[in-house]
């Protein structure tokens, strides 16, 4: 018989509700903490949402941030930030920096004339410097992009809510969307905590996380629906444990293979997509966690209509034996 790699045993009997108070409480605490971080620390908004101009520089000589800042000091530029960019994929003689300039009052973005003066000043510091990318976004456009980003996440969540509601029952839809909101809020909270750049690529990552997480949750819910018809008298809590154990191998395999693919992109993909990939890496982990410990807990709390369950004559202690 050929040897096969197994990430989990064929038959598991893990009680996923054993620590349900702790796991669900930790999820609620993480969501609240993330909201507090966003309100207090804010997000390190990228040029897409804040407006301004970003210039990427490259040179064969090491980046001297101090000299570059001194050269730009007298150029009448607003809110200049210079950051050296490092990446394992860069050549030994490839030195990259990113210069971010905020727009001045009354201007949509930094003018081409100002950019030309800036480039000339930097060439005076390093004649070998080049400018492979210049991006400008005005404040009005950035505000529109911010609202569209928020609406896109809300629209995706509402669409998923309707889809799951039509496919299963409303309890499943509420549990699924609650898990998705948990994933998005905690991911945004992490970006606020680490002050990582938050731009349109991160919004794309959030939408991708929504799709990944709901796919994982729907697989478990589909098996749960089958088991509801198969085990009509089994308590709902036991049935959910059985369902999750039956699909655990698939859940772990999907998460592991996706995580490994993203990890390769994170290491070798370059700094341009690193923020997107980092959000996806965290999203795979938090999405798997919410599938196992958030969505099911809410469905268990709300209960499931089991009207096809054989009816019994009422007894004085009937309600003390109702399934959780």
Domain boundaries, the chain: 20-44+141-302, 52-136
* Sign for the pseudo-dihedral over CA of 259, 262, 264, 270: negative
Whole-number pLDDT of residue 259: 93
52-136 classified as CATH 3.30.1490.100: no
CB atoms within 10 A of CB 121: 17
Whole-number pLDDT of residue 109: 64
Q: What is the DSSP pairing of strand 95-102 with strand 197-198?
A: unpaired
> At 81, which helix (H) or strand (E)?
strand 78-85
* Rg value, the chain, Cα: 26
- The whole-model pTM stands at 0.74
Separation between Cα atoms, residue 32 and residue 202, nearest integer Å: 21
Q: 190 with 282: CB under 8 angstroms? A: yes
Separation between Cα atoms, residue 85 and residue 89, nearest integer Å: 11
φ/ψ region of 106 (left if φ > 0, alpha if ψ in -120 to 50, else beta) reads left
Angle between the 20-40 and 170-194 helix axes, to the nearest 10 degrees? 50
Separation between Cα atoms, residue 186 and residue 286, nearest integer Å: 8
Q: What are phi and psi of 11, to 5 degrees?
A: -120, 115
Burial class (CB in 10 A: 0-12, 13-18, 19+), 321: exposed
Whole-number pLDDT of residue 220: 85
* CATH superfamily, domain at 20-44+141-302: Multidrug efflux transporter AcrB transmembrane domain (1.20.1640.10)
Q: Please give the torsion angle defined by the CA atoms of residues 197, 203, 204 and 206, in that order, rounded to the nearest 10 degrees.
A: 110
CB atoms within 10 A of CB 240: 22
Whole-number pLDDT of residue 145: 76
Going residue by residue through the chain, which has 324 residues, state the pLDDT in tens, using 9 for 90 and above.
Answer: 455 656 666 677 778 788 888 888 899 999 999 999 999 988 887 777 777 788 888 988 888 888 888 888 777 676 677 888 877 778 888 888 888 877 665 565 667 777 888 888 888 888 888 888 887 776 666 677 778 888 888 888 888 888 888 888 888 888 888 888 999 999 999 999 988 888 888 888 998 888 888 888 888 888 888 888 888 788 888 888 888 888 888 888 888 999 999 999 888 877 778 889 999 999 999 988 988 888 888 888 887 766 544 444 444 444 344 443
Q: What is the DSSP pairing of strand 197-198 with strand 44-45?
A: parallel
């Amino acid at each position: 018989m050929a040897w096969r790699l197994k990430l989990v045993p064929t038959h598991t009997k893990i009680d996923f509700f054993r620590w349900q108070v702790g796991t669900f409480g930790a999820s609620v605490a993480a969501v609240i903490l993330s909201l507090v971080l966003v309100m207090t620390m804010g997000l390190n908004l990228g040029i897409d949402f804040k407006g301004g101009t970003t210039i990427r520089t490259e040179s064969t000589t090491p980046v001297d941030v101090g000299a570059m800042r001194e050269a730009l000091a007298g150029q009448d530029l607003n809110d200049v930030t210079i950051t050296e960019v490092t990446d394992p994929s860069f050549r030994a003689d490839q030195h990259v920096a990113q210069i971010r300039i905020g727009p001045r009052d009354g201007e949509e973005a930094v003018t081409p004339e100002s950019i030309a003066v800036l480039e000339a000043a930097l060439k005076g510091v390093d004649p070998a410097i080049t400018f492979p990318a210049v991006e400008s976004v005005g404040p009005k456009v950035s505000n529109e992009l911010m609202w569209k980003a928020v609406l896109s996440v809300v629209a995706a969540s509402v669409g998923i809510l309707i889809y799951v509601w039509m496919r299963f029952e409303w309890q499943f839809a509420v549990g699924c969307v609650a898990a998705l909101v948990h994933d998005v809020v905690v991911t945004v909270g992490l970006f606020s905590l680490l002050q990582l750049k938050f731009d349109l690529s991160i919004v794309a990552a959030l939408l991708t996380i929504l799709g990944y997480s709901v796919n994982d949750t729907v697989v478990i819910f589909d098996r749960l629906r089958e088991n509801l018809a198969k085990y009509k008298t089994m308590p709902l809590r036991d049935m959910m444990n059985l369902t999750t154990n039956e699909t655990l191998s698939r859940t772990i395999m999907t998460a592991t293979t996706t995580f490994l693919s993203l990890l390769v992109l994170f290491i070798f993909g370059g700094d341009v997509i690193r923020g997107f990939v980092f959000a996806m890496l965290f999203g795979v982990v938090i999405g798997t966690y919410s599938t196992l410990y958030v969505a099911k807990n809410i469905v268990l709390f709300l209960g499931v209509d089991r009207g096809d369950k054989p009816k019994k004559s009422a007894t004085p202690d009937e309600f003390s034996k109702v399934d959780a």
